[in-house]
Structure 1
Amino acid sequence: MSHEPEDRRMSVRIDETDRKILSELQRDASRSLDEIAKAVGSSKTPVWNRIRKLREAGVIGQQTVVLDAEKLGFDACFFVLVRTSEHEADWQRRFLEALRARPEVQEAHRLAGDIDYILKVRVPNARAYDAFYQALIGEVKIHNVTALLSMEELKSTTMLPL
């Protein structure tokens, strides 16, 4: 989620070549500029200039690597549904601070509907989830929490359908 002003986020025009570059970067951003340029049918300098402009416009954000959670011992993925009766700014600020301070929380979304928030929490096991849960409810008042254990990840991607 971008916190940039609306005009800055929308100020860049994305053409078909940009879409090809972005698709290649989404597929594997660790490839060389030469490989990306070849894949999109261009040369290195124009591709580099386009990437630079896309970064400056905020279209391309932080670049990172995708780690295998299970190979690193994070075998349990919980989706945590949060309902709260607290909606004032101070509670929301404390809740957001608590989430940001917890590396177990991979994603957090505020929702429309009966559930106020959904969290994606990655931990080694159920005991680690319980420690996370106890710490969270110790920091902020939450009306109701439902934890759903993912039995199998069927699809996970950060790629947008360009």
Structure 2
Amino acid sequence: MDKFDKHILSILQQDCTAAVSEVAAQVGLSTTPCWRRIQAMEKSGVIRGRVALTNAEMLNVGLTVFVIIRTNQHNPDWLNTFAKIADEFQEIIEFYRMSGDVDYLLKVVVPDMKAYDHFYKKLIDKASFADISSSFAMEEIKYTTALPVDYLP
């Protein structure tokens, strides 16, 4: 990865709908070499996909909840089962295995508290946890899907 690739990634992370010719002009390449670089990054997995970012409020999922899960089951079978359960819930948009006092962290989006209560009851019905607690986001201060490219070698 060189400075051109980093610049291309920065541009595409801000707007993946930009025409290759626009990206090429911004990075100082002609269209064909720029397109080849994009294709190579897609093939290698650096670019995993291209998506549309949507407005949570307009999709009526404006309540963001961070669900902290602790379990006394620390084995691959439990994790695989729980991962499959999490896949069944469209409300779970992020899922992490953590270090420290927390075992798993879920980011959940729902319309309101009543919808979260319904989600919570379905979740605890499907899996057993040692402890589960929730924190509700009051305000989104920063949100981005763009990853830093300055750490690339």
Q: Would you say the 8 A contact 1:78–1:147 is kept in 2?
A: yes
Q: Which amino acid in structure 2 is aligned with residue 108 of structure 1?
A: F
Name the CA distance, whole Å, in 2 between partners of 1:153 and 1:87. 33
1:65 aligns with one of 52, 56, 65: 52
Name the CA distance, whole Å, in 2 between partners of 1:102 and 1:72. 16
Name the CA distance, whole Å, in 1 between partners of 2:54 and 2:82. 27
The TM-score normalised by the length of structure 1 is 0.89
Q: Does 1:109 align with 2:109?
A: no
Residue number in structure 1 paired with 2:106:
119
Residue number in structure 2 paired with 1:22:
9
The TM-score normalised by the length of structure 2 is 0.95
Q: Which amino acid in structure 2 is aligned with residue 68 of structure 1?
A: N
Q: What displacement does 1:89 show?
A: 2.5
Q: CA RMSD in A?
A: 0.8
Sequence identity, in percent? 40
Residue number in structure 2 paired with 1:6:
none
The list of structure 1 runs, each at least 4 consecutive aligned residues, that deviate by more than 3 angstroms after superposition, is none
Number of residue-to-residue matches in the alignment: 149
Unpaired runs of 5+ residues, structure 1, are 1-13
Unpaired runs of 5+ residues, structure 2, are none
Residue number in structure 1 paired with 2:21:
34
- Higher relative CO (Cα under 8 Å, sequence separation at least 6) belongs to 2
